[in-house]
Amino acid sequence: MRPLPLSWLPSSVAAALALALAAPAAAATPLHRLAGETVMTALAGPPRASFLAQVRDGDVGGVILVGQWRSTAQMAEVVRTLQSAACEHGTPLLLAVDQEGGPTRRLPWAAPAESASALGIRDAAHTEHEARAAAAALRRAGISIDLAPVADTRLSPANFLGSRTFSSDPTVVGQLATAFVRGLQTGGVAATAKHFPGLGAAKENTDQHAVSVQLVRLQPFRDAIAAGVRLVMMSNASYPHLDPSGRPAVFSRTIITKLLRGSLGFDGVVVSDALDAPTPNATPHAPARAIDAGVDLLLYTSGSAARRGYESLLADASTSARLRAQLAAAVERIRGLKAWLGSSC
């Protein structure tokens, strides 16, 4: 019998219960499995035997489906194959896509048909309805995580995000991001507020450039956290006014542990933006640095980069008791998310 998700419980109670259940198992998990559970690799089509072997060995804990997919049936069949391989070692995968709306959709036949900026001129009820429809489509395909909504406030007309942001008004962004979170999570799909602490003033894309941001609006993230959002994605930009060291947010304990977890009270899963983007990719020991800062789930948009990240993390953790303890804590939160989703083998 498929277990009930913990979503019927109050958010704080569900999180505490999930972590309590996960803690003993995480502490007893072999190191290579701990490292693997924190790595999310990418897949653009039916998996090769070598990819499935990594899944069976527990070298990856999640998969982001990228590229173009022909139909729900094709995606669902790939998901079944992946989960069957994962369950050979007893731990289901987290499956994620970017389904923000408009042109940013991995399921182009599914909601939201409108971009975030188009949703921004509608009311919150409409946004929540669209997110519920998206959740239904994602669930039919076997997807458990939507890497949406974008909670960045557009603070410059030259902002690279363009139509992916709801508004230049942080109050509107907060209202619509919250509605999107409610719609997805009522439908059993975990939402992701991104890109913390904000890319609304960035003129260049962090997927291609090193970026420094001077201005952010935290209110939409506060609102999404108050609504119970299950994941928050970290930005790869640096924020000198928040962390004078100049570290990118994804490597900043000041921004993740002190600001996001401490001041804003987020207790869910922190996921990186793409660690194979230029700035993190050029950073030595990037996976270990991200985990040390407070990241739980390490996202890669390339299978080969994910493999290198896993090997780097495993090597670093084998010589650091501190990192091993941080990995165990990250895996506890990841397993808490899986419990909320009702994921099981």
Q: Which residues are catalytic?
A: 209, 273
259 within 8 A of 323, measured Cβ to Cβ: no
116 within 8 A of 165, measured Cβ to Cβ: yes
Cβ-based neighbours of 308, under 8 Å, separated by 6 or more: none
Cβ-based neighbours of 218, under 8 Å, separated by 6 or more: 197, 198, 264
For residue 325, what is the enclosing H or E element? helix 321-341
Nearest to 59 by CA among 33, 31, 92: 33
96 within 8 A of 146, measured Cβ to Cβ: yes
38 within 8 A of 331, measured Cβ to Cβ: yes
Nearest to 332 by CA among 9, 27, 86: 27
β-bridge mates for residue 232, sequence order: 193, 270
Contacts of 21-24 with C-beta under 8 Å, sequence gap 24+, read 21/335, 21/336, 21/339, 22/331, 22/332, 22/333, 22/335, 22/336, 22/339, 23/332
Please state, in angstroms and rounded to a whole number, the distance separating the CA atoms of residues 104 and 242: 29
Reply yes or no: is the peptide bond before residue 197 cis, omega within 30 of 0.
yes
Please state, in angstroms and rounded to a whole number, the distance separating the CA atoms of residues 292 and 304: 23
Task: Dump the DSSP string for 247-269.
Answer: -BGGG-HIIIIIIIIIIS---SE
